[in-house]
Structure 1
């Protein structure tokens, strides 16, 4: 007599189906963990701006910018906030994505069930969080050491919000686009770093913008960092300092227009050029 065994019924899968939001959140957590584990990125994003702020503030901080009462240290803080946003959204993002492409991380992500929009949303969210923490640390140093006065009216904080968001959007989209122009991760530092340094020295970050030759001022006006730095100065410096700007005003409409145009340009280039696989991977 042959024994028969009844097959046990299959246990139904009761796990909830992942949503776009849950997958994006999970990817964001991974991105943050990878950022925290990368000591090079942590030093570049947090330590360098603080060291520059302390160094330049110590050397030139007591100098007063005529005809105002603003010290160089107070002038320097908004520029460091602006370049911190650019470094996080453009330089660091472009180089980290190039590294992920070289190591086939992007290739594996592209082959996974993760929606591509979730990947980009998670990276943008990570840039936003890191930038906010970085800015908070820089502002705390400026207030504690260099007597920078925080804005007290809602209008200035609204200016800070839209300048920060537009500047971050422009930097991030351009970072995605630049990452695909780098043929490999090793080329990142050699190509991206000089671009950032030139813009920092011509956009009113390391030097007072109005003390630069006029042709360098016109050159800087083409790119977003100059407008990002000027927008941040309008938040943290006295209102009468606007008269010391190149055109005697904060030029908020021009700032919004230029930054928005660069968001559009960066988005167009990122969509057209972004690569998930290495250049030599066919």
Structure 2
């Protein structure tokens, strides 16, 4: 009897209490889940195209469709640039939204609807490890997507990338804040669709509308003031603005709302949305829907 009581975890097991997983185990399982999620991601043809290859496809399409006449001058006082250079920042920002927000919102909603989350909830898998796997997958695919987009822009479309360390440092923190914020907001939105079939109908229109009003497909400076103000509420506008600060000539800052890149505002807006996404995802995530 005394031997049994001295065994680690015996008392909690006897009381029917699951021992709390060690942090090291949580991270190890999370890394394994990341590998699992990546394998599943790259085996899904539709997901691979609509979240991974879609920005590359759109950049090539816009560059060919609208760039046949050479460089364009979008406004007086700014130097002419190619259509590929003009659209590259927006497509990088859209890639963050698609990889994090759209991909996770639909993926988790489908897993919940099909009962995958319910089965996982009955295993020792911690929600922490589950989300380490999801966000790890988003981080890896987001980096690969951005790298592919930049290589495509340089090799195929002859875009000149920035050469200063300051520009690439800006790119790095906009990318990290953007992909993390998008992922957390995707987790939060995943609780809205009631079925796997409705996930696409709920998530895709939101993502598409945000891309149109945030300067991805349309020149942001040419949008009405009220639409620019509306877009400023949401994080994609700030991701796109941060990317424009990296890849467009300095003269193009005059076309922004306040006539400057306002990188401090970009950082603040994304940080606020990151906290909002973290709180919402924590409050809304369940292995099983409450109304199920």
Task: Tell me which residue corresponds to 1:152.
Answer: 163
Give 1:27 shift: 1.1
Give 1:116 shift: 1.5
Task: Tell me which residue corresponds to 1:240.
Answer: 251
Q: How far apart, in 2, do the equivalents of 1:86 and 1:110 lie? A: 28
Written as runs of structure 1 = structure 2, the 5 A alignment for 1:94-113 is 94-113=105-124
Whether 1:165 and 2:171 are equivalent positions in the alignment is no
Q: How far apart, in 2, do the equivalents of 1:46 and 1:166 lie? A: 19
- The total of aligned residue pairs comes to 265
**Larger radius of gyration between Structure 1 and Structure 2:** 1
Q: Any idea what the Cα deviations from partners look like across 1:28-75, whole Å, max 9, x if unmatched?
A: 111111111111111112232222111111112333323322233211
Which of 274, 277, 288 is the aligned partner of 1:263?
274
Whether 1:204 and 2:215 are equivalent positions in the alignment is yes
Contact 1:31 1:123 in 2 (8 A): yes
Task: Using structure 1 for the length normalisation, give the TM-score.
Answer: 0.90
Which of 152, 162, 167 is the aligned partner of 1:141?
152
Task: Tell me which residue corresponds to 1:5.
Answer: none
Which of 52, 55, 58 is the aligned partner of 1:46?
52
Q: How far apart, in 2, do the equivalents of 1:207 and 1:182 lie? A: 29
Give 1:147 shift: 2.7
Q: How far apart, in 2, do the equivalents of 1:34 and 1:27 lie? A: 10
Q: How far apart, in 2, do the equivalents of 1:180 and 1:200 lie? A: 22
Q: Any idea what the Cα deviations from partners look like across 1:108-150, whole Å, max 9, x if unmatched?
A: 2222112211111111010010011111111111112333222
Give 1:151 shift: 2.0
Task: Tell me which residue corresponds to 2:42.
Answer: 36
Secondary structure at the counterpart of residue 242 of structure 2: helix
Which of 71, 74, 87 is the aligned partner of 1:65?
74
Secondary structure at the counterpart of residue 181 of structure 1: coil
Secondary structure at the counterpart of residue 264 of structure 2: helix
Which of 132, 136, 161 is the aligned partner of 1:125?
136
Secondary structure at the counterpart of residue 19 of structure 1: helix
Q: Any idea what the Cα deviations from partners look like across 1:153-210, whole Å, max 9, x if unmatched?
A: 2111111111011111110110000001111221111111111111111111001000
Q: How far apart, in 1, do the equivalents of 2:83 and 2:173 lie? A: 25
Secondary structure at the counterpart of residue 180 of structure 1: coil
Q: How far apart, in 2, do the equivalents of 1:117 and 1:264 lie? A: 17
| 140-149 or 124-133: bigger deviation | 140-149
| 251-260 or 67-76: bigger deviation | 67-76
Contact 1:183 1:279 in 2 (8 A): no
Which of 56, 79, 83 is the aligned partner of 2:90?
79
Give 1:280 shift: 4.7
Q: How far apart, in 2, do the equivalents of 1:244 and 1:133 lie? A: 30
